[in-house]
């Protein structure tokens, strides 16, 4: 039996949720930012901070990846969720699920795949 991320997270947390809780955020992905070297991650590096909110924008018509999820910071395109890890988040977004992203780590590394790590949450 297959569950959507929202349904699974709800099952896991519903019995623990206090009645006053407005929403619950469940971490569903922590990964490197793909394509950081091609977009604005380098030019925005000094302004970005760990914990900053990231906009996740679904790109179903992306010619390179039908499950593409673009990552933006304050209107600047930083890159994408990695292709090997984006299917579940894309499906959640396609099913009108609410997802949020944030910067998890910023490391000044020569390898662009190690510079920015992001976290993706499903909001219940």
Residue 1 has pLDDT above 50, yes or no: no
**For the segment 29-80, what is each residue's pLDDT rounded down to a tens digit?**
999 999 999 999 999 999 999 999 999 999 999 999 999 999 999 999 999 9
Strands (E), the chain: 25-32, 53-58, 69-73, 76-80, 98-106, 116-123
Domains of the chain, each with CATH number or no CATH: 22-123 (3.30.70.2330)
Closest to 68 (Cα-Cα) out of 52, 54, 78, 79: 79
CB atoms within 10 A of CB 27: 12
């Amino acid at each position: 039996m297959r569950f959507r991320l929202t349904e699974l997270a709800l099952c896991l947390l519903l019995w623990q949720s206090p009645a006053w809780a407005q929403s619950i955020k469940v971490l569903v992905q922590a990964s490197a930012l793909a394509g950081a070297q091609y977009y604005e991650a380098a030019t925005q590096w000094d302004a970005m901070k760990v914990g900053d909110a990231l906009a996740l924008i679904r790109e179903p018509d992306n010619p390179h990846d039908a499950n593409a999820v673009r990552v933006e910071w304050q209107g600047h395109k930083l890159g994408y969720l990695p292709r090997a890890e984006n299917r579940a988040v894309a499906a959640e977004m396609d099913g009108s699920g609410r997802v949020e992203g944030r910067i998890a780590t910023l490391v000044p590394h020569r390898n662009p795949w190690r510079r920015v790590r992001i976290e993706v949450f499903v909001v219940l």
